[in-house]
Amino acid sequence: MTQTAQPHGFVTKTVHWLSAGLIGYGYLKGLDNVSQLANPALFQFEVVFALALAALFVLRLFWTKRIAAESRLPEAAPHWEHLASRAVQIGFT
């Protein structure tokens, strides 16, 4: 760990914002009307979209665990912050 917080790398930021964008798109597209899924083409799109989002989440989990696993918190951060960070990391797995 370091004395100051380190910025996240390009891949981490890209995966984060791509995930956020896809979740936002899925939310705004909103299938409020479940009967829309009766359309086979739309249903197929939804399945492919969900699989792509799941693959991105698996990539994010792999990247966080194997490549960028080191905490970005500075050593001087409060103890509760380190505990909260660790709890979130465990929650993702």
For residue range 11-24, what is the model confidence (pLDDT) as tens digits?
Answer: 888 888 998 999 88
Directed axis angle between helix 10-29 and helix 40-62, to 10°?
A: 150
Domain count, the chain: 1
Is residue 4 included in any domain, yes or no? no
| Pairwise CA distance, residues 71 & 85, whole Å | 8
pLDDT higher at 29 or 47: 47
Is 47's pLDDT higher than 80?
Answer: yes
Structural domain harbouring 85: 10-92
Three-point CA angle 53, 32, 51, nearest 5°: 15
pLDDT at site 52: 93
Is residue 30 included in any domain, yes or no? yes
| Pairwise CA distance, residues 88 & 93, whole Å | 9
Is residue 5 included in any domain, yes or no? no
